[in-house]
Amino acid sequence: MSLDMAKVKTLAFRMLDDIGAAASGALVLLGDRLGLYQGLVQHGPATSAVFAEKMGLHERHVREWLHAQAVSRYIDYDPATEQFSLSPEQAMILANPDSPVAMAGAYWGVADLYGIEPRVAEAFRTGEGVPWGEHSSCLFCGTARFYGPAYRTSLISQWLPALEGVVPRLEQGARVADVGCGHALTTRLMAKAFPASHFTGVDFHAPSVAHAAELARDEGLTNVRFEQGSALAFPGDGYDLVTFFDCLHDMGDPLGVARSVAERLAPDGTWMIVEPQAGDTLADNMNPVSRAYLAFSTMVCVPASLSQEGRAGLGAQAGEKRLTEIIKAAGFRHVRRALDTSTNMNLEARL
């Protein structure tokens, strides 16, 4: 078989670019940990010597980091003055953790993928899964920081209003279960916005539940409580709203979970399912968003599902058609896509 060396060269350079991106991830973590991006906003434009002095750091280390970031086009460099800076657009992505397009924090989740790789390799051989609890705390931090900006920006102002009749009920006083809540940013945001309603956050991971309760206490929230439990048997019933944020695909038995929601939802209640943006086929998912999601799905989501009862292995790129089939099989008659974002699809289900 003859080789097309032009194709070989194209793939080799594509992978070289990816190697640079993968290695640069550690530099983003470094910049995030040391506050270097925020420092450039405050002290730039500046030479490496001036910047290092302002930051109280060793100049030679800082200089190499600045050079690498400039080559990645993550920061700006002026060769005439040898000064480095962040443009407003770069700052929005790298220096502002509350920006709706903040990206730096997501690299903490990427760091976990490299650490967990030997454990996932073992799972490939045995067919067993890898529970969330076996991942490092970097994954929980990275997940919260990746999704957090969108939740803070859009959950109250856009996502909940996109659901039919939900906001008025929350304003009047509703019973809400936030299942798979993790550190419960979504639960706490809703509890703050709708003080007349009562919220129950549920997650199977005990350390996350404990941390969520601590955060709620620190914020003075009195209309929220947290329970460690399975989505297959979470406490309470008669809920006006049940929410799942980027977690249904991680569960071992999504059909069983959907049936559990149906049993606990009030007859006129709403189930809000936020899932990663995805098409229905692999051909539909040949894009940068799906590329990132499929990497995390391979290392986190599918192994997590295969570690649980049911072992469905739905994955983060299941797509609307497959999700709708599961939801309707559980007895929900009405399922619609209420809202789209670049990274998520928001489904609304009613009995």
Q: What is the pLDDT of residues 187-222, one digit of tens each?
A: 999 999 999 999 999 998 888 899 999 999 999 999
Q: Where along the chain do its domains lie?
A: 5-94, 106-350
98 confidence band (pLDDT: 50, 70, 90): confident
* Cβ contact 258:326 at 8 Å: yes
Residue 19's alpha-carbon distances to 16, 23, 26, 59, 342, in angstroms, are 5, 6, 12, 26, 25
* Cβ contact 317:278 at 8 Å: yes
CA neighbor of 184 nearest in space, from 169, 198, 202: 202
Per the model's pLDDT, the better-predicted residue between 133 and 308 turns out to be 308
Looking at the domain that runs over 5-94, which CATH code has it been given? Answer: 1.10.10.10
Share of the chain above pLDDT 90, in %: 90
Across the range 238-256, mean pLDDT stands at 96
Which pLDDT belongs to residue 143? Answer: 87
Does residue 307 register a pLDDT over 80?
yes
Out of 112-116, 149-153, 314-318, pick the least confident.
149-153
Residues in the chain: 351
Q: Tell me how far apart the alpha carbons of residues 249 and 143 are, in angstroms, rounded to a whole number.
A: 15
132 confidence band (pLDDT: 50, 70, 90): confident
Which pLDDT belongs to residue 126? Answer: 96
pTM over 0.85: yes
Does residue 1 register a pLDDT over 80?
no
Does residue 349 register a pLDDT over 80?
yes
Note the helical H segments in 205-282: 206-218, 254-264
Top-tier CATH class for 106-350: alpha beta
Contacts of 328 (CB under 8 A, 6+ apart): 335
CA neighbor of 250 nearest in space, from 311, 201, 177, 202: 311
CA neighbor of 201 nearest in space, from 216, 135, 301: 216
Which pLDDT belongs to residue 144? Answer: 85
Across the range 43-66, mean pLDDT stands at 98
Q: Tell me how far apart the alpha carbons of residues 297 and 132 are, in angstroms, rounded to a whole number.
A: 12
Which pLDDT belongs to residue 84? Answer: 98
* Cβ contact 188:160 at 8 Å: no
Q: Tell me how far apart the alpha carbons of residues 265 and 259 are, in angstroms, rounded to a whole number.
A: 10
* Cβ contact 344:159 at 8 Å: no
Give me the chain's average pLDDT, please: 95
CA neighbor of 257 nearest in space, from 329, 351, 339, 187: 329
Element of type H or E holding 302: helix 302-306
